[in-house]
Amino acid sequence: MQKAMMSMRQNICIMVLFLVGSSAIMGGSWGVGQDAWIALLIALGFGSIIVLVYARIIHLYPEMDLCDIAQAVFGKIIGKVIIVLMSWYAIHLGVILLRLLSEFINIVALQETPQLPMMIIILAVTGYIAFSGIETLGRLAIIALPLYLFINLYTMTLSVTDIKFSNLLPIMEHSFNALLMASLKIFTTTFAGTVIFLFFADGVKKKNNPYKIYLYSIFISALLLLAIFFLSVMVLGVPMLEKEYFPFYTAVRTINMGEFLSRIELMIFYNFLLGSIVKISVCLLAAEKGLQKVFNIKNKGQVLAIVSFFILIVGMFEFDSVIEIFNFTEFYQYYVLPFQIVIPILLWIGAEMKMGRRRSR
C-alpha cells in the first residue's frame, strides 16, 4: 500500500479547519464574559508549549505515525495499550462532535427531523471521506479552508456597523483564577486537540518541519477564534454572550443591512457543518488507523464501518439533550488531560531517552 504523503499546506489546512471547526458557531461563552480574549491568549501560550512536545515527537521519528512510535518507544504491549487509549480519545471526540452537530441542526433549522437519520447521513459522508484516506482529506481542506475564511470575513464585515467597542470594557473585571479556569477549557477543547494529528504523522514528509506545521496552525486558528469572539461580544454584549448556547450564530442573526441583507446566519450554519464534517472525518480516520494496527485487520472498510456504528450508537445514548452536552464540557476538560498531556509527554520522554541511547552507541 502506498503511503499517503501530504504537503505542508495540506497539513496546516486540515489542522486549522479541525481547530476552528466547531467554533464557527460558538465563539465565547466560557464564563468570563468580555475577558475571554485574555483567557484565549493564555490558552494559546500553554497550547504553544504542548504543541512543541507533539512536534518534537514527530521530529524524532520522522514519517512514522503514533502507532509505530508508541510501539518503538515502549515495546509492543504497552505501545498497543497506548494506541487503544488514544483511539478511544478520537472516538469519544467524534461522538461529542456528531451529537453537537445534529443537535444544532435540530434546534436551529430542522426541528421536526429526528436525529438518528441525520446522524446516519453525516456518518455516511464522513465515513466515505475517511475511507478515501488522509490525502483526500488534505485536498478537501485546501479548498474548504479558504471558503470557510471567506464566509467568516464576509459576515464579520457586514456586522461591523453594529459593533460597540464599549462592550469589551471593563477589562480584567474577572479574577485571574477565573481566567485560568476558562483558559483550561479553551486549551483542552481546541489547541490540545491537535494531539490527534500524531496519528497522521506518517503523512508528514521528512523534509517538512513539524514545528512549523503545528505553530502556524495554532496561531492562525487563535487569530480566527479571537476574531469570532470579538465580533460576538461587541455585537451582542456580555449578558447575551453568556446566556446563548451559540453566541456567534446569534450575533450573525442580528445583521440586517439595508433591510434586505439579512438571514446571513445560514452561511455560518454551513461553515459549522463543513468544519464539523472535517473534524469528524479526522476522528474517524485516527480511530481507524489505531484500531487497524492494534487488531491487525487488513480491510480498512470493515474497521471504519465498526467505528462509525459504534459512534452512532454511543452518540444516540450518551447524552439526553443539549444541556447534557454543555454540562459535559465541565467534566471533559479534566477527563481529556491524560490523553492530551500525560501520554504525549511520556512518549516524548521515552523517545528522547531512546534517541539519546542510540546516539551514545
Partner 1 sequence: MKIGVIAIKRLVGILLILILCTLLSGCWNYRGLNKLSIVTGVAVDRKDDNNYQLTMETVDLTAASKESAGKSQIIQSEGKTMFEAIRNAKKRVTKKLYFSDMKVLVVSNQIAREEGIKSILDFFMRDAEPRETVIPIISQEKTAKEIFAASGVDAKIISEELQKMIDKDSETTASTRKIANYQVFNMLQGEKEMSLVMPAVHLVLNNEKKVVEVNGIAIFKADKLKGYLSPEDTHYYLFTVDEVKGGILTFPSNEKNQKWYDDLSFEIAKNKTKRSYSYDGNRLKFILDIKTTAVLDEVGADIDVIKKENIEKIKSTADRVFTDRLESVIKKEQIEFGCDIFGIGTMIHKSNPLLWSQLKENWEYYIQTMEVEVRPEFLIINTGLEK
Torsion angle of C-alpha atoms 312, 318, 322, 328, degrees rounded to 10 = -130
Residues 122-161 that bind partner 1 (CB under 8 A): none
Q: Does residue 322 bind partner 1 (CB under 8 A)?
A: no
* Nearer of residues 171 and 345 to partner 1, judged by Cβ: 171
* Nearest approach, Cβ of residue 109 and partner 1 (Å): 8
Q: How far apart are CA 292 and CA 289, in angstroms?
A: 5
SS (H, E, C) 129-145: HHHHCHHHHHHHHHHHH
Among 113, 175, 302, 321, binds partner 1 (CB under 8 A): 113
- Chain centre distance of CA 181: 19
Q: Does residue 254 bind partner 1 (CB under 8 A)?
A: yes
Q: For the window 170-209, what string marks contact with partner 1 as x by the rule CB under 8 A? A: x--x------------------------------------
Q: How far apart are CA 321 and CA 104, in angstroms?
A: 11
* Nearest approach, Cβ of residue 311 and partner 1 (Å): 21
Q: Does residue 110 bind partner 1 (CB under 8 A)?
A: yes
Which residue type, as a one-letter code, is found at position 42?
I
The residue assigned the cell 484565549 is: 40
Q: In the chain, which ranges are continuous DSSP H helix?
A: 8-20, 36-60, 66-74, 76-108, 115-132, 134-158, 176-189, 210-236, 238-243, 247-253, 265-295, 300-318, 322-335, 337, 343-360
Torsion over CA: 230, 24, 133, 197 (sign) = positive
Q: Does residue 166 bind partner 1 (CB under 8 A)?
A: yes
* Nearer of residues 110 and 147 to partner 1, judged by Cβ: 110
* Nearest approach, Cβ of residue 107 and partner 1 (Å): 6
Q: Which stretch binds partner 1 (CB under 8 A): 61-69, 105-113, 300-308, 313-321?
A: 105-113
Kindly state the cell numbers that stand for 193: 486537540
Identify the bridge partners of residue 256 per DSSP, sorted by sequence position.
262
Q: Which stretch binds partner 1 (CB under 8 A): 163-171, 300-308, 329-337, 352-360?
A: 163-171
* Nearest approach, Cβ of residue 353 and partner 1 (Å): 51
Among 81, 109, 342, 353, binds partner 1 (CB under 8 A): 109
Residues 228-247 that bind partner 1 (CB under 8 A): 236-240, 243
* Nearest approach, Cβ of residue 243 and partner 1 (Å): 7
Q: How far apart are CA 172 and CA 118, in angstroms?
A: 42
Q: Does residue 301 bind partner 1 (CB under 8 A)?
A: no
Note whether 64 and 201 are within 8 A (CB): yes
Binding residues (CB under 8 A) for partner 1: these are 107-114, 121, 166, 169-170, 173, 236-240, 243, 250, 253-254, 256, 262-263
